[in-house]
């Protein structure tokens, strides 16, 4: 508010993001180190376009899969440039939304169950492993 952003930015605390996520224009992931954060999965599922810092491992994967627009550097200037690029390119935003949604739809609970069951079925029977 002190910087005059009150009309453009909302700081919301203590809310369940699942209900707020679909209202976002985008998600900025600025982590220096990260595995697979839930907020990223929630953004994908809600169709929110993601802009990410070039976090080691995660940044390369996100960019390679077309799931996020990855900044060239982890600097405020590079992140701002990536945000601006995403904001000004409606086709890029639409692609990020679609890729994120498709990625989460492919990795649902039913698929996890099928793949886990398939793995268990591919293992040798216990008696075959016994001495």
Per-residue pLDDT of the chain (131 residues; tens, 9 = 90+): 788 888 887 777 776 767 888 888 899 999 888 888 888 989 999 999 999 999 999 999 999 999 999 999 999 999 999 999 999 999 999 999 999 999 998 887 788 888 899 999 998 866 555 55
The CATH fold assigned to 17-129 is Rossmann fold (3.40.50)
Q: Where are the domains of the chain?
A: 17-129
The partner residues of 50 in beta bridges, in order of sequence, read: 27
> What count of residues does the chain have?
131
Query: With a threshold of 0.85, does the pTM exceed it?
Result: no
Q: Which residues, in sequence order, are CB contacts of 42 under 8 Å at separation 6+?
A: 17, 18, 21
Cβ pair 38, 18 in contact under 8 A: no
Counting Cα atoms < 13 Å in the Cβ hemisphere of 56 gives 2
């Amino acid at each position: 508010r002190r910087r005059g952003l009150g009309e453009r930015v909302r700081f919301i605390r203590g809310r369940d993001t699942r209900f707020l996520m679909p209202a976002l224009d985008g998600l900025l992931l600025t982590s220096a180190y990260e595995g697979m954060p839930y907020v990223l999965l929630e953004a994908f599922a809600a169709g929110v376009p993601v802009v990410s810092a070039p976090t080691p491992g995660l940044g390369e994967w996100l960019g390679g899969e077309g799931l996020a627009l990855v900044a060239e550097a982890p600097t405020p200037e590079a992140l701002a440039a990536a945000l601006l690029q995403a904001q000004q390119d409606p086709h890029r935003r639409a692609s990020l939304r679609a890729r994120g949604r498709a990625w989460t739809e492919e990795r649902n609970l039913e698929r996890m169950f099928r793949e886990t069951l398939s793995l268990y079925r591919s293992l040798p029977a216990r008696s075959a492993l016994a001495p």
